[in-house]
Structure 1
Amino acid sequence: MKIRAQALLFDNDGTLVSSLDSVDRCWARWAQEYGITEEFGRVELHGRPAAEIVADLLPAGLVPEALARIEALEVEDVPRGGARLLPGTRDLLDALPAERWAVVTSATRRLAEARLDAVGILPKTMVTADEITRGKPDPEPYLRAARELGVDPARCVVFEDAPAGLAAGRAAGMTTVALTTTHTAEELRADLVVRDLSALSVLVSADGVEISVRG
């Protein structure tokens, strides 16, 4: 299978880097600090903006302070192994011109930059949770990335590991590629499902990018 596109849009956590251990560690501590460990145990964390999670768990008056606290915990955890490259990330990104790809993440810019900097990834274009009004599964983050790259959404490919992110890509009218790094293939609805980015190769030309599944 070959997919042709003008731009590639990557989720970060679970797609380019793994920060699952850090997320679990920091949010568990955060929930304990706020005395909501029981309620927290019923919440889906992955692929959702922190603002949405916090608003679901705490009264509105506590949300700003609680958001700042979880961001601080996660940023402080990065040097302790809070981010590591997933297979295939380096090779695939190194093959792409800077103007052909972007990172689209549910993390804040401060946290996203901390994690990406830790693994040596410096995207020219990045859309973060604090720059949008509606997060995934709304298409706004991916539509904004396409606009910043100057590419028709229909000519973009979204790479995601979470159902909410894939739903955002579909709603934006983009081709979707799912990675089974955090969910099973049965949980992921996409045009193509692969284990991680190491299963893919890219060929860049003046016309765009051709994505192929490695034999």
Structure 2
Amino acid sequence: MKIQAEALLFDNDGTLISSMESVYRCWTRWAEEYGITAEDFQRVELHGRPAVEIIADLLPAEQIPGALARIEQLEVDDVPGGVVVLPGTKELLTSLPRDRWAVVTSATRPLAEARLHEVGIDFPAMVAAEDISRGKPDPEPFLLAAKRLGVDPARCVVFEDAPAGLAAGRAAGMTTVALTTTHTADELVADHVVPDLSAVFAQAIDGGVEITTRA
């Protein structure tokens, strides 16, 4: 399948890199520190959502700022040895013009930067949790990335592994490519589905990028 686009927008965790073991390790410790029961914790979806939204589901408003600072500290401290680059990531990113892609993450900027730097990924642009007022599945993060790159949203391709992120990409009017790195294909609604970025190839063309995918 060939797709022509002007910009590529990548989710981070589960798409470019994986820190899932670190995420669950840190959030489990955080929940224990804040006295959250295992039952309440298990009911909350962690993946693909901003930390502040997760915390708001579990704690009263007055505790959110301190709790947010604590989970960020735990996750940043756990970055060394807690992050792996996913197949195809570096090969795809190095084939792209630097002004044609961005990272769009639900994580805070310090955490996302620490994770990417840990595996040697140098990114040209990023939209992080601090940049938006509404996280995925709202389209705001992807629309902001398109605006910063100066590209029509309809000419963007979103790469995501989480249902919330794919919903955000669809709501932004963008082409969506789902990766089955954290969810099965039947859990993901997208224009194209691939196992990971090793199934995606790109080459620069006049005015953008041509993407080829294989299932």
User: Does the alignment reach a TM-score above 0.5?
Assistant: yes
Partner amino acid for 2:57? D
CA distance in 2, matches of 1:22, 1:176: 27
CA distance in 1, matches of 2:19, 2:32: 20
CA distance in 2, matches of 1:207, 1:144: 20
| Unaligned 5+ runs, structure 1 | none
Partner amino acid for 2:10? F
Partner amino acid for 2:179? L
Deviation track 1:156-214 (CA, whole Å, cap 9, x = no partner) reads 00000000000000000000000000000000000000000001111111231111124
Q: Is the 8 A contact 1:54 1:66 kept in 2?
A: yes
Report the counterpart of residue 201 of structure 1 in structure 2: 201
CA distance in 1, matches of 2:37, 2:187: 26
Report the counterpart of residue 174 of structure 2 in structure 1: 174
Question: Mean Cα displacement is larger for which, 119-128 or 4-13?
Answer: 119-128
Partner amino acid for 2:30? W
Partner amino acid for 2:147? R
CA distance in 1, matches of 2:207, 2:96: 13
Report the counterpart of residue 43 of structure 1 in structure 2: 44
Deviation track 1:36-79 (CA, whole Å, cap 9, x = no partner) reads 03211211100010000000100111100000000000000001
Q: SS where residue 170 of structure 2 aligns?
A: helix
Q: Is the 8 A contact 1:203 1:210 kept in 2?
A: yes
CA distance in 2, matches of 1:34, 1:41: 15
1:77 aligned onto 2:58: no
User: In the TM superposition, what are the counterparts of 1:14-53 in structure 2 within 5 Å?
Assistant: 14-38=14-38, 39-53=40-54
1:121 aligned onto 2:121: yes
Q: Could you tell me the TM-score, scaled by structure 2's length?
A: 0.98
Q: Is the 8 A contact 1:15 1:86 kept in 2?
A: yes
CA distance in 1, matches of 2:193, 2:83: 23
CA distance in 1, matches of 2:178, 2:62: 37
Partner amino acid for 1:45? L
Report the counterpart of residue 58 of structure 2 in structure 1: 57
Partner amino acid for 1:123? F
Partner amino acid for 2:67? A
Q: Could you tell me the TM-score, scaled by structure 1's length?
A: 0.98
Q: SS where residue 79 of structure 2 aligns?
A: helix
Deviation track 1:71-115 (CA, whole Å, cap 9, x = no partner) reads 000000001x22110000000000001100000000000100000
Q: Is the 8 A contact 1:49 1:135 kept in 2?
A: yes
CA distance in 1, matches of 2:130, 2:184: 29
Partner amino acid for 2:155? R
CA distance in 2, matches of 1:37, 1:25: 15
Q: Over the residues paired in the alignment, what is the CA RMSD in angstroms? A: 0.9
Q: Is the 8 A contact 1:5 1:156 kept in 2?
A: yes
Q: Is the 8 A contact 2:194 2:214 kept in 1?
A: no
Matched-pair identity in %? 73
Partner amino acid for 2:51? A
Q: Is the 8 A contact 1:28 1:37 kept in 2?
A: no
CA distance in 2, matches of 1:170, 1:40: 29
Partner amino acid for 1:197? L
CA distance in 2, matches of 1:66, 1:40: 14
Partner amino acid for 1:44? E
